Amino acid sequence: MTSNICLLLVLIPTIFAWDNLVGYKVNDATQALYLRLQSKQGTHIISGQFDHYSDIQSITGKEPAIRGFDLQNYSPHNPWHDDWSSWDDGTIQTAINWYQSTNKHGIVQIQWHWFSPTGGNLKTSTFYTDQTNFDVTKAVIEGTEEHKATLRDIDAIAVQLKRLRDQGIPVLFRPLHEAGGKWFWWGAKGGKATISLYKILFNRINVNHGINNLIWVWSTPEEDYYPGKSYVDIVGYDSYPGAYNYDCNFNMYMHYQQLIGTTKLVALTENGPIPDIDSCFSSGARWNFFMGWSDLTTQQQNDQAHLKKSYSNSKTLNLYKI
């Protein structure tokens, strides 16, 4: 009976009121983007892609509506510089240029593969738990060196987010992703520490820096990692079922509905294979958007016929259609 009720709620989401955005004094452009996303829930799915964006265009003749970018190289303790310094790899300017080139139709998504604030070795990817000795449980304790380094890093990232804000660009901001997998240092010590870190980040970005152009996206499904509805606008699942597996992840969609109710948008915040769009809608797994992950989507886990079919589906909203 419970599953039948949940399915009914999935199929008729428009009768429910959506939560307000959780950020502090969110600006009009960001509010408008949120309304655009809400207006498509249940009737369409919005296309998105990380990296290899032009490959999607070449294969399908369509442009994804959402384009993903990563802040990893802006991390102040960057192991890919011999002096551990951060560097501007052009990501933010590329995001600005792309958004402006779409006449403000495109949607910018930002994530942060956060190189650990201290620890690790040069030439290693220190956002991975097994590549650093940085302890997130110490990072959330005021006065520790780990906490000071954490605040330094957040402040550095705030500088980049302000560049987007100052250009009038609303952002889907997805920090601390996949925390429940524990393969990233921010999730390695369990949900309590991750939630504490997330709230430090959330409050510093909102209160200390006054950054008001963010829609906050949370993407790990474990209940004990969920920060709570007052800190999250969109929940998402990073879906990698295996090459050419176009399953809709209905059970995961229902899990999120039961975790958060029907007042938050639910999305595929990363995916290898794009799920079969028609099957998703007929089953009730009506994800708000999908985000293809790099060349896994364009070359390794979807055949070209499926990519073309997915992007040509009448329920798929590409750039200039949302």
| Max CA separation in the chain (angstroms) | 60
Helix (H) or strand (E) holding 96: helix 91-101
Q: If 0-12 CB within 10 Å is exposed, 13-18 middle and 19+ buried, where does residue 318 land? A: buried
Known active-site residue 178: yes
Neighbours of 270 (CB within 10 A): 25
Annotation marks residue 142 as catalytic: no
- Encoding tokens for residue 183? 């393969």
Six-digit token string for 300: 């390794």
- How far, in Å, CA of 251 to CA of 322, rounded? 27
Q: Which two tokens stand for residue 283?
A: 């089953």
| 205-242 b/e (C-beta count within 10 Å ≥ 16 → b) | bbeebebbbbbbbbbbbbeebbbeeebbbbbbbbbeee
Catalytic residue among 142, 145, 178, 223: 178
Residues designated catalytic: 178, 270
